[in-house]
A and B are shown apart, each in its own frame.
Chain A
Amino acid sequence: MKIGVCVKVAPDTDTRIKISGDGAGIEESGIKWIVSPYDSFGIEEAVQTQEAQGGEVILFSAGPKDWQTQLRAGGLAVGAERAVIVDDPALAGTDPLGIARVLAAGIASEGCELVFTGKQAIDDDNVQVPAMVAELLGWPHVSFVTDFSTDGSTFTATRNVGGGTQEVVTGSLPVVITAERGLNTPRYAKLPAIMKAKRKKVDVKSLGDLDLSADDITPAVQLTNFSLPPERPAGRKLEGDVDTMVQELVRLLREEAKVI
Chain B
Amino acid sequence: MARFQGLDFYNIDDLLTEEERAIRDTVRTWVDDNVMPIIEQHARAGTFPTHLPERMGEMGFLGANLQGYGCPGLSNIAYGLICQELERGDSGIRSFASVQGSLVMYPIHAFGTEEQKERWLPALASGKAIGCFGLTEPDHGSNPSGMVTRAEDRGDHYLLNGAKMWITNGTLADVAVVWAKLDGVIRGFLVERGMEGFSAPEMHGKHSLRASVTSELVFDNVKLPKGNLLPGVKGLRGPFSCLNNARYGIAWGAMGSAMACYDAARRYAIEREQFGKPIASYQLVQNKLAWMLREITKGQLLAWRLGRMKDDGTLFHEQVSLAKMNNVDVALQIARVARDVHGANGILDEYPVMRHMANLESVYTYEGTHDIHNLILGRWITGIQAFH
List B contacts of A190 (CB < 8 A): 58-60
Contact A69 B18 (CB under 8 A): yes
**How far is A195 from B2 in the complex, measured between Cα atoms in Å?**
29
Against B, the Cβ 8 Å flags (1 = close, 0 = not) of A171-184 are 00000000000000
Against A, the Cβ 8 Å flags (1 = close, 0 = not) of B66-89 are 000000111000100010000000
User: Is B30 among interface residues, defined by CB-CB distance under 8 A?
Assistant: yes
User: Is A121 among interface residues, defined by CB-CB distance under 8 A?
Assistant: no
Contact B26 A72 (CB under 8 A): no
Contact A72 B18 (CB under 8 A): yes
List A contacts of B22 (CB < 8 A): 69, 72-73, 77, 189, 194
List B contacts of A14 (CB < 8 A): 2-3, 5
Knowing A14-B5, A69-B18, say if A192 contacts B58 (CB, 8 Å): no
Q: Which one of B3, B5, B23, B29 lies within 8 Å of A194 (CB-CB)?
A: B23
Q: What number of B residues sit within 8 Å (CB to CB) of A?
A: 22
Nearest Cβ in chain A — how far from B64, in angstroms?
7
Nearest Cβ in chain A — how far from B75, in angstroms?
9
Q: How many A-B residue pairs have CB under 8 A?
A: 46
User: Is B174 among interface residues, defined by CB-CB distance under 8 A?
Assistant: no
Nearest A residue (CB) for B58: A190
User: Is B19 among interface residues, defined by CB-CB distance under 8 A?
Assistant: yes
Enumerate A49-91 residues with CB–CB distance to B below 8 Å: 69, 72-73, 77
**How far is A123 from B306 in the complex, measured between Cα atoms in Å?**
39
**How far is A191 from B3 in the complex, measured between Cα atoms in Å?**
21
List A contacts of B3 (CB < 8 A): 14
Q: Is the interface of A mostly helix, strand, loop or mixed?
A: helix
**How far is A188 from B61 in the complex, measured between Cα atoms in Å?**
13
Contact A192 B72 (CB under 8 A): yes
Q: What number of A residues sit within 8 Å (CB to CB) of B?
A: 14
User: Is A198 among interface residues, defined by CB-CB distance under 8 A?
Assistant: yes
Nearest Cβ in chain A — how far from B194, in angstroms?
31
Enumerate A4-25 residues with CB–CB distance to B below 8 Å: 14
Contact B59 A191 (CB under 8 A): yes
Contact A191 B29 (CB under 8 A): no
Contact B26 A194 (CB under 8 A): yes
Q: Which one of B29, B30, B60 lies within 8 Å of A192 (CB-CB)?
A: B60
12 interchain pairs, CB-CB under 8 A: A14-B3, A72-B18, A73-B25, A77-B22, A191-B27, A191-B59, A191-B61, A191-B72, A191-B82, A192-B72, A194-B23, A198-B18
B residues contacting A by CB (< 8 A) are 2-3, 5, 18-19, 22-23, 25-27, 29-30, 58-61, 64, 72-74, 78, 82
With contacts A191-B59, A195-B19, A198-B18 known, what are 18 further pairs, Cβ within 8 A?
A14-B3, A14-B5, A69-B18, A73-B25, A188-B29, A189-B26, A191-B26, A191-B64, A191-B74, A191-B82, A192-B60, A192-B73, A192-B74, A194-B19, A195-B73, A195-B74, A197-B19, A198-B19
